[in-house]
Structure 1
Amino acid sequence: MFFILSKLLFYIFMPISLITITLIWGIITKSLRLKKILLCTSLGILLLLGNSTIVNWGYHLWETPPPTSPFAQRYDVGIIISGGMMMNRECNREQIFSGKTADRFLQPLRMYKRGLLKKIIISGGDVSINPLNNENDSETAKTQQILIELGVKPEDILLETRARNTRENALYCAQILHNFPQLKTSVLFTSAFHGRRAIGCFQKAGLNTTLYSCAIRALDMGYTPDTLIMPSEQALAEAYQLIHEIIGYCVYRAMGYC
């Protein structure tokens, strides 16, 4: 129930959802005062969350920084949290289409090839709330496939395919590591905007792991008229992801998950 409710909550707070709700409400309401407030609110949300500069500042403030010396230490295991690493589209066994967060498996691959990781855990199950969803190959399986093709030994990859959220990623990975006591040191790979919630959950699960932030979204962006003034659909999408994560972090803190 928590999983479904959290998904629905995030859809409600999408920028485009907030704009649509306030716009439609403002059009149909009979109160002139409320109409003015709602239409101004709709426009304000568009100008604020569609502003590339403001959204980029938000990411700079929220994201956890990447390691300054990523190859300075060896670890027994690298833990990859799945999510967006592979494109959600139909494909056959020979087709692999990487997604926006492919950096989550590229960074541990680099460390493994340098001999800095002994094992790799890929954690993540089916996160769809669509009962008709029937993917033949999960993101976890596709990530395993591409890592093997790029030189990782099959016996060095451990799969965790039950987790549907960050808390379950942490709990199920803790169970795996409990069964492999020789794997004492670990490093956690996830997107920088997700780092706060991820490291908090893994620490709550009793894992003293090191965070490796990757898939950075904050840009060193110049101040030009198009980024300072004109709303952008890309900015709205980025704002949604940021709002999604901040809400998720607050809910997890309130529930005691991180």
Structure 2
Amino acid sequence: MSFYLSKILWLIVQPHSLLVLALLAVLVFGRMGRRTRWALGAVTAVVVAVAVLPLGTWLLRPLDERFPPPTPEQVEQAPGIILLGGAMSLAMTSVRPGYALSARAERYTETALLAHAFPEKPIAFTGGSGAILDQEVREGPLARSLLEGLGIAPERLIVESDSRSTAEHPALLAPLLPPGAPGEGWLLVTSAWHMPRAMGVFQAAGWQVVPYPVDYATAPAGGWLPGLLNGLAGLYYGVHEWAGLIYYHAMGYTDEVFPAP
């Protein structure tokens, strides 16, 4: 009984639940003019919708499912593995011990598992810093250190640390890879919801990479984690990726708005 009680109480008293309850209380009991009440009502409705409806899931699931995982044959025949950066907090890693991995840490863990399963494949990392002002701390050197710490031999690593965005990965990584068709058959490891934009960029640059999606944000069908913070996180990443897809196509970085296999 105490287990269920503790869970229910936490659902009520967690900060974002209290925020929703406070908005509802002010809307119902507060003294305010008609226009103010309408404005507050609209804000409250949006907050409740984000907390209750799977808005982020609706945006993210099409991205998650756009590129299926590779076949075992494609994985086995791949000459190498490309890991896209963006799964590490550079600011926190630079001031605290260890590696401050984000919710996208599966990019690193899956790459490490692949590397140990196929010890003959080289691992190429691409990623610098996406910060507007501070370009001193970059992910490339930190990624090299982390991957070596996970047991990957230094001679297997190819590290590019100047790219600031997904759009810059192909051009800056290309000179570092072995001669031949750009990335032909190499596995491209990144978050599933980020894969359409990443594949679109590499395809437009003439690369022939094989998508290896990880870090899925949605279940295959139905179900989501209700709550304001979960809803805001899903909405943030969903809007960010769809806006990125539109922007990249408008800028000529991709051939399609929604790249397909």
Query: Given the two structures, how large is their TM-score scaled by the length of structure 2?
Result: 0.71
1:112 CA drift (Å): 1.8
Q: Which amino acid aligns with 1:209?
A: V
Contact 1:80 1:123 in 2 (8 A): yes
Q: Which residue in 2 is equivalent to 1:240?
A: 236
Q: Which residue in 2 is equivalent to 1:9?
A: none
SS of aligned partner of 2:213:
strand
Highest Rg: 1 or 2? 2
Deviations 1:74-118 (A, max 9, x none): 311211110023564145796223221111122222222122761
1:147 CA drift (Å): 1.3
Contact 1:111 1:117 in 2 (8 A): no
Q: Which amino acid aligns with 1:56?
A: T
1:241 CA drift (Å): 1.3
Q: Which residues of 2 match residues 79-98 of structure 1 at below 5 A?
A: 79-86=82-89, 88-91=91-94, 95-98=98-101
Deviations 1:36-59 (A, max 9, x none): 775555344323333353322332
Any unmatched runs of 5+ in structure 2? 1-33, 255-261
Task: Indicate how the Cα distance of structure 1 residues 201 and 216 shifts in structure 2: closer, same or farther if over 3 A, else same.
Answer: same
**2:118 equivalent among 100, 115, 124:** 115
Contact 1:174 1:205 in 2 (8 A): no
Task: Indicate how the Cα distance of structure 1 residues 113 and 143 shifts in structure 2: closer, same or farther if over 3 A, else same.
Answer: same
Cα distance in 2 for residues equivalent to 1:143 and 1:50: 35
Contact 2:184 2:209 in 1 (8 A): no
SS of aligned partner of 2:206:
coil
Q: Which residue in 1 is equivalent to 2:180?
A: 181
Contact 1:171 1:202 in 2 (8 A): no
Any unmatched runs of 5+ in structure 1? 1-31
SS of aligned partner of 1:89:
helix
Question: Is 1:129–2:132 an aligned residue pair?
Answer: yes
Q: Which amino acid aligns with 1:216?
A: Y
Q: Which residue in 2 is equivalent to 1:60?
A: 61
Root-mean-square deviation (Å): 3.2
Cα distance in 1 for residues equivalent to 2:105 and 2:92: 15
Q: Which residue in 1 is equivalent to 2:195?
A: 195
Contact 1:75 1:117 in 2 (8 A): no
1:221 CA drift (Å): 8.4
SS of aligned partner of 1:61:
helix
Q: Which residues of 2 match residues 128-147 of structure 1 at below 5 A?
A: 128-131=131-134, 134-135=136-137, 138-147=138-147
Q: Which residue in 1 is equivalent to 2:156?
A: 156
Cα distance in 1 for residues equivalent to 2:97 and 2:223: 43
How many pairs align? 220
1:223 CA drift (Å): 5.9
**1:74 equivalent among 70, 73, 77:** 77
Contact 1:174 1:207 in 2 (8 A): no
Range moving further from structure 2, 191-200 or 78-87? 78-87
Deviations 1:11-33 (A, max 9, x none): xxxxxxxxxxxxxxxxxxxxx87
Contact 1:85 1:103 in 2 (8 A): no
Q: Which residue in 2 is equivalent to 1:100?
A: 103
Cα distance in 1 for residues equivalent to 2:58 and 2:174: 34
SS of aligned partner of 1:158:
strand
Percent of pairs with identical residues: 25
Range moving further from structure 2, 82-91 or 96-105? 82-91
Q: Which amino acid aligns with 1:189?
A: V
